[in-house]
């Protein structure tokens, strides 16, 4: 009781609320991840006591994980890697006018998941710490593979295209220094590629940048004024509680999966939310509603990534092994304050440890009140006109990419990947499988190579991967997921169409432009497989496996194209907004301006973007409802706000023009 009273002291409660609000802001800004939020705050805790410093860091950790759901739901832009799965159903709910409902159930689910994770931490830490020690390289490998195979089950559209996207993401993760050998690969002699692609830059490029381009595209496809991106329907908090608590299977599965994945060192909330989403969809009777605004999808994702917070702190506090990237930064905060994690933590530093634990539970309660109170203000963001929101997203995309490493190459990564992803979505590719492949690729490769090395020392690498209860269970889950997905998406739904494709196959189909493209890609894949034979075994093993799987998927797509006549092909195409060549100039302009950050400076770039898009619609599209003085005023005020926050307060070094 003494520790509980200390937690709710006015000073400690104030610090906790401050940390939560800061964390929510960090999570809501694309590019500012929970890891970055905790890392930036650690220096400000030097002058505080150990208890006070940890309370602030804990509040930021919890708040930032929750805050990532806000842009994920409102704009289809995950504020953090752990919020990728929230976009699957959160943004479709916004499109249907249920943004307020989505934010409410996300807040409630986050709190329930967070409480579950903290209960694990408080009552079962020693037990689960022993379990986390049983996860070796093979277990990590199977968990990563399980996450990759989930792509086929959770993603809408063509299974083969989704798996191709996952393979592309895995291949992007190969670029840079190989973690096992310490040597570079696939850098093509470019120094910028030595460090590889940063995960935040890739996620912003896959989700945020193309979303801004799509907003511009939608504005060009309408003739009338559209002041609101999506209208927001009214919602009842009481009914939202009923929606969450009335679906105990979704929130329970999400919390359990999230807490369990948090135990695995290095896994993180991104894997937790994806796997939880898959399991809830697997056990749902209405699988067809997922990806179209299903509440259970939001509940599963948000309960999982918040339960992961408590789970990741278990191996950290009891063994000194961080269970997530953010927990690894958190470890630095503990050591700076002279606290050494381990089994003696709760004996030598009992007052600090228990006060911190109870403050993490209190954080969930405060988060519930803060989150629900802020929703009515959050939903007002959807009332921002598209010609203003698009440059705002572009500006945050650029600053979010740069602030991670102060590297211009990260900005170029965002722009190139974003521009390519915009057109890939026209070809019905989804960004989620690519993101998942990029995140899980390094975990799978490290687990594979370490498992091969350890297994060889035990006599047989193959038997090592299939020995042990955890390995067997994970393998069976993977097998079950693949078989069920095959039956549901190929045998049941495609059986008749496959027969028709075989009948419709004609020689002229071989000369379809899309068939020729797939053939060229297949040849390129084969060339790459042959060319990497000169690499050391450790560097080429997993790339060869990935490229071989990719080749098989490309052949499947090739056969589908040549086995489908033109009329069938048109029926199979989804209802998307056709690309208008008239919008190409504005797309190229915003892309080029974004690319010139180092030349013109960040703040001049923001001004140009904020004014260029509205001016385009005012003079080119003849939208007389756009008031020019209001546009100029908004652009200047927004730029000044960014300057105040990032230069005067946070003091982030941003690109300035070369003349300075």
Query: How far apart, in whole angstroms, are the C-alpha atoms of residue 559 and residue 551?
Result: 12
| Cα four-point dihedral sign 427, 428, 431, 436 | negative
Phi, psi of 541 (to 5 degrees): -60, -60
Specify the 3-state DSSP secondary structure of 182. Answer: coil
pLDDT at 528 (0 to 100): 92
Q: In the prediction, which pLDDT does 525 show?
A: 92
Element (H, E) at 100: helix 99-123
Q: How many CA atoms lie within 13 A of 504 on its CB side?
A: 18
pTM for the full predicted model: 0.79
Q: What is the DSSP letter of 488?
A: I
Question: What is the spatial distance between Cα 5 and Cα 574, in angstroms, rounded to a whole number?
Answer: 58
Burial of 281 (0-12, 13-18, 19+ CB in 10 A): buried
| Integer Cα distance of 53 and 335 in angstroms | 12
The tokens of 453 are what? 């090395």
Instruction: State the Cα–Cα distance between residues 222 and 617, nearest whole angstrom.
Output: 11
Instruction: With beta carbons less than 8 A apart as the criterion, state whether 571 and 607 touch.
Output: no
The 3-class SS string of 216-239 reads HHHHHCCCCCCCCCCCCCCCCHHH
Q: Whole-angstrom Cα distance, residue 23 to residue 58?
A: 9
pLDDT at site 163: 86
Q: Which uninterrupted H or E stretch holds 184?
A: strand 184-185
> In the prediction, which pLDDT does 113 show?
92
Tokens of 628: 């020019």
Backbone angles phi, psi at 284, to 5 degrees: -85, 145
Phi and psi torsions of 184, nearest 5°: -85, 155
Please give the Cα distance from 270 to 156 (Å, whole number): 19
pLDDT in tens, 548-577: 999 998 988 888 777 665 555 544 444 444
CB 244, CB 112: distance < 8 Å = yes
How far is 463 from 468, CA to CA, in rounded Å?
10
Element (H, E) at 176: strand 176-177
Integer Cα distance of 107 and 89 in angstroms: 15
* 248-263 helix and 295-319 helix, angle to the nearest 10 degrees: 30
Which H, E and C letters describe 301-328, residue by residue?
A: HHHHHHHHHHHHHHHHHHHCCCCCHHHH
The owner of tokens 């759901």 is 69
Distances (CA, A) of 478 to 198, 275, 474, 542: 28, 11, 6, 18
Contact assessment for residue 314 and residue 264, using Cβ atoms and an 8 Å cutoff: no
Under 8 Å CB-to-CB from 311, ≥6 apart: which residues?
117, 120, 121, 128, 258, 259, 260, 261, 262, 263, 272, 323
pLDDT digits (tens, 9 = 90+) for 222-236: 544 444 445 667 777
Question: What is the model's pLDDT at position 545?
Answer: 92
Give pLDDT, residue 115. Answer: 92
Rounded CA-CA distance 303/82 in Å is 11
Instruction: Provide φ and ψ at 179, rounded to 5°.
Output: -70, -20
**Closest Cα to residue 62, out of 324, 374, 299, 363?**
363
What is the C-alpha separation between 618 and 586, in angstroms, rounded? Answer: 13
Per-domain boundaries in the chain: 2-233+242-454
Nearest alpha-carbon partner for 128 in 249, 4, 258: 258
Q: With a cut of 70, which residues of the chain have pLDDT below it?
A: 1-3, 5-7, 30-32, 126, 129-133, 151-157, 220-232, 265-270, 321-325, 343-344, 346, 485-511, 563-580, 650, 658-660
Task: List the alpha helices (DSSP H) in 320-385.
Answer: 325-336, 345-348, 350-378
What pLDDT was estimated at residue 333? 76
């Amino acid at each position: 009781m003494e520790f509980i009273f200390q937690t709710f002291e006015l000073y400690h409660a104030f610090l906790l609320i401050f940390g939560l609000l800061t964390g929510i802001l960090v999570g809501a800004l694309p590019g500012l991840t929970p890891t970055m939020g905790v890392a930036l705050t650690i220096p400000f805790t030097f002058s505080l006591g150990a208890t006070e410093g940890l309370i602030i860091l804990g509040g930021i950790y919890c708040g930032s994980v929750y805050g990532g759901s806000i842009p994920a739901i409102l704009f289809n832009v995950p504020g953090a890697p752990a919020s990728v799965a929230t976009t699957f159903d959160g943004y479709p709910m916004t499109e249907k006018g249920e943004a307020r409902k989505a934010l409410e159930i996300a807040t409630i689910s986050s709190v329930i998941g967070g409480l579950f994770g903290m209960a694990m931490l408080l009552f079962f830490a020693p037990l689960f710490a022993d379990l986390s020690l049983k996860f070796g390289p093979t277990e990590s490998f199977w968990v990563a593979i399980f996450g990759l195979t989930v792509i086929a089950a959770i993603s809408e559209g063509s299974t083969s295209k989704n798996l191709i996207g996952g393979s592309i993401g895995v291949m992007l993760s190969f670029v840079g220094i190989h973690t096992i050998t310490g040597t570079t690969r696939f850098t093509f002699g470019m120094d910028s590629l030595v460090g590889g692609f940063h995960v935040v830059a890739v996620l912003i490029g896959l989700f945020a940048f193309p979303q801004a381009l799509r907003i511009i595209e939608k504005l060009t496809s309408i003739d009338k004024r559209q002041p609101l991106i999506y209208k927001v329907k009214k919602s009842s908090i009481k009914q939202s509680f009923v929606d969450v608590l009335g679906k105990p299977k979704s929130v329970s599965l999400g919390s359990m999966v999230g807490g369990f994945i948090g135990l695995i060192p290095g896994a993180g909330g991104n894997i937790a939310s994806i796997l939880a989403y898959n399991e809830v969809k697997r056990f749902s009777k209405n699988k067809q509603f997922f990806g179209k605004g299903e509440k259970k999808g939001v509940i599963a994702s948000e309960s999982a990534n918040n339960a992961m917070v408590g789970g990741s702190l278990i191996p950290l506090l009891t063994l000194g092994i961080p269970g997530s990237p953010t927990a690894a930064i958190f470890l630095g905060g503990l050591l700076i304050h002279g606290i050494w994690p381990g089994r003696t933590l709760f004996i030598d530093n009992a007052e600090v440890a228990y006060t911190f634990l109870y403050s993490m539970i209190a954080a969930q309660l405060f988060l519930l009140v803060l989150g629900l109170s802020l929703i009515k203000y959050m939903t007002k963001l959807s009332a921002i006109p598209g010609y203003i929101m698009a440059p705002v997203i572009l500006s945050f995309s650029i600053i979010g990419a740069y602030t991670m490493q102060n590297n211009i190459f990260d900005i170029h990564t965002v722009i190139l990947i974003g521009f390519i992803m915009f057109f890939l979505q026209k070809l019905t590719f989804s960004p989620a499988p690519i993101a998942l492949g990029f995140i899980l690729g390094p975990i799978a490769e490290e687990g594979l190579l370490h498992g091969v090395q350890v297994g060889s020392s035990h006599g047989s690498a193959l038997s090592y991967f299939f020995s042990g209860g955890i390995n067997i269970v994970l393998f069976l889950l993977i097998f079950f997921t693949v078989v069920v997905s095959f039956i549901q998406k190929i045998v049941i739904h495609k059986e008749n169409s496959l027969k028709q494709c075989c009948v419709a196959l004609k020689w002229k189909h071989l000369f379809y432009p899309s068939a020729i493209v797939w053939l060229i890609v297949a040849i390129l894949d084969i060339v790459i497989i042959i060319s990497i034979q000169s690499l050391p075994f450790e560097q080429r093993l997993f790339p060869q496996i990935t490229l071989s799987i990719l080749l098989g998927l490309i052949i499947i797509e090739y056969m589908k194209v040549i086995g489908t006549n033109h009329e069938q092909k048109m029926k199979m195409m989804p209802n998307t907004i056709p690309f208008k060549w008239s919008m190409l100039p504005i797309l190229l302009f915003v892309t080029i301006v974004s690319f010139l950050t180092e030349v013109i400076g960040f703040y001049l770039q923001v001004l140009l973007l904020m004014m260029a898009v509205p001016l385009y619609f005012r003079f080119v599209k003849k939208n007389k409802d756009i008031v020019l003085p209001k546009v100029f005023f908004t652009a200047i005020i927004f730029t000044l706000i960014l300057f105040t926050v990032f230069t005067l307060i946070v003091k982030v070094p941003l690109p300035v023009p070369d003349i300075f």
